[in-house]
């Protein structure tokens, strides 16, 4: 099941020579393209959200052949990359989220934190 995973619907006009807007990045989970889910990606992921254990999102990036050909004629090598993102749920404890407690402690120790609870990216991937 999906957890609080929010993703950008990345579009790009600069890569296309035809002037059409293309989507150079696909977001798939178990083969399902998240951008194609009816009802909107945020609504769907919220349906499956849960306060659960940490989990890892494995990402695989690759260029489509037509995009490579437009930018680098003659280039035949496949360009790929992999990444793992570890996601941790910080529960509410005694009326205050755990991440807020961590930020308060860092600030008290003089770490000069520029983020606050509202701006700190937590639980979800944005």
Domains of the chain, residue spans: 1-87, 90-121
The first and second tokens of residue 64, run together, are: 């489509």
77 half-sphere exposure, CB direction, 13 A CA radius: 3
Confidence bin at 101 (pLDDT 50/70/90): confident
Whether residue 18 is predicted with pLDDT greater than 70 in this model: the reply is no
Mean pLDDT of the region 17-35? 66
Whether residue 110 is predicted with pLDDT greater than 80 in this model: the reply is yes
User: How high does pLDDT run on average in the chain?
Assistant: 62
The answer for residues whose C-beta is within 8 angstroms of residue 94's C-beta and 6 or more apart is none
């Amino acid at each position: 099941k999906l957890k609080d995973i929010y993703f950008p619907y990345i579009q790009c006009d600069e890569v296309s020579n035809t002037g059409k807007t293309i989507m150079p990045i696909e977001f798939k989970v178990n083969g399902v393209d998240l951008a194609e889910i009816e009802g909107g990606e945020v609504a769907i992921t919220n349906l499956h959200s849960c306060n659960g254990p940490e989990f890892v999102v494995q990402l695989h990036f690759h260029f489509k052949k037509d995009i490579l050909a437009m930018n680098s004629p003659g280039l035949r090598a496949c360009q790929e990359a992999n990444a793992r993102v570890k996601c941790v749920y910080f529960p509410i404890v005694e009326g205050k989220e755990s991440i807020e407690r961590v930020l308060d402690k860092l600030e008290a120790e003089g770490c000069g934190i520029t983020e606050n609870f509202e701006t700190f990216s937590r639980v979800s991937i944005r």
